[in-house]
Structure 1
Amino acid sequence: MEQVTSLVLLSIALGLDAFSVSLGMGMQSVRLKHAFIAGIVVGIAHIVMPGLGMLLGQWMSSGVSQWATVAGGAMLFGLGSYTVFASLTEKHSAAYTLAGAGLWLFALSVSIDSFPVGFSLGLRDAEVWVSVLSFGLFSMALTWAGFVLGRRAGALLGTYSELLGGSILCALGLNAIF
């Protein structure tokens, strides 16, 4: 029972990055279809990244944890800067950032910090796969929840929601870096 509780708490902790970012992005007029697909891609990324961490953990140094945090923060800041810039200069929404490369950038930026988690899990067959599947499912659900709540908040904020969403992404990125 204690292991299940630890796994659930770790899964929630890893998924909260995705929740926070999707909350900010949800304030842009993101289509539900894009939010749904983004949740799936984020879930997959939260399976792949710790899985890669497990496989490569023996070869990598402990400095990867700091690198992953800085890289993820830089990607979030870049995505947020783009969103803020687009909201100030373009007449249409920057919501299209959740398609193609923008979708993968989003998924990578919120899941890269789960890479070092793979180091601590080790290579324990079934337990590892249960763990990474849990990470993926919780991250997917939290991403969807963030988009839904962000969308509702965006409707209340009107034209300022995209600017606020981009600012949140920038703040999350800077927080991860510093």
Structure 2
Amino acid sequence: MSLETVINELFTLIIMALALGMDAFSVGLGMGLIRLRMKQIFYIGVTIGVFHIVMPLVGMVIGRLLSDTFGTIATLLGGGLLILLGAQMIFASFSKEEKPLITPVGMGLIVFALSVSLDSFSVGLSLGIYGAKTILTVAIFGIISMILTWFGLLIGKRVQSWIGSYSEALGGSILFAFGIKLLFSF
């Protein structure tokens, strides 16, 4: 394999990782609009990075065994989860209660990370069918999605202080809209 081929493959994987990580950035931007500590932002980014490693890895393994028919199902599930998370944040912003139903902590963080990484499962299916280099692919996906999540969360945290009490409703609207986009992209 020539150096040019390796560089082209690496460039392609980075572009794919950026495309996959943009949903984590967008959703991180929305989640950053709720009050989060820096420690929480760190853990959220790492968790999403890990999910962006595990989900395409599982997809690649299954993709090598099966066809890519599961890709549509994974995208629909991800869209549905984002709509639910977004709606919950919107309703919680108008509620008198201080604590939202789902927060990016514990099981809420798992649901959040799963919702933004389901599309990487479907990409993993495709890459598995074409025989991409597994370790390199998932490492690039995980690192880039983690960094993009941190950027989104930090920007959201900064904007949250500017718009005050409306920030959670805005964040929920972003998640909701992104979920709709995933569902109706077919």
TM-score for the superposition, normalised by structure 1: 0.93
Equivalent residue number for residue 183 of structure 2: 177
The 5 Å alignment of 1:43-122 reads: 43-94=49-100, 97-122=103-128
In structure 2, runs of 5+ residues without a counterpart are 1-6
Q: 1:39 aligns with which of 45, 49, 56?
A: 45
C-alpha distance in structure 1 between counterparts of 2:65 and 2:14, whole Å: 28
8 Å contact kept, 2:90–2:172? yes
1:161 corresponds to which residue? 167
Q: TM-score, normalised by structure 2?
A: 0.89
1:135 and 2:141 matched? yes
Counterpart of 1:28 in 2: which secondary structure?
Answer: coil
RMSD over aligned Cα atoms:
1.9
Aligned partners of 2:106, 2:66: CA distance in 1, in Å?
30
Deviations 1:46-77 (A, max 9, x none): 00011001111144442211111110000001
Q: Structure 1 residues 94-103 or 124-133, which shifts more?
A: 124-133
- Give CA deviations for 1:74-105 in whole Å, capped at 9, x if unaligned: 00011111111111113425396111110000
Change in CA separation of 1:70 and 1:123 when aligned onto 2, cut-off 3 Å: closer
Indicate whether 1:15 and 2:21 are aligned.
yes
Please list the CA deviations of residues 114-171 of structure 1 after superposition, one character each: whole Å capped at 9, or x if unmatched.
Answer: 1122223238999220110000000000000000001111111111111111111111
Amino acid at match of 1:26: G
What corresponds to 2:150 in structure 1?
144
The answer to whether the 8 Å contact 1:98/1:106 transfers is yes
Quote the sequence identity (%). Answer: 45
Task: Give the Cα–Cα distance (whole angstroms) in 2 for the partners of residues 24 and 134 of structure 1.
Answer: 24
Give the Cα–Cα distance (whole angstroms) in 2 for the partners of residues 93 and 30 of structure 1.
12
In the alignment of these two chains, the number of paired residues is 178
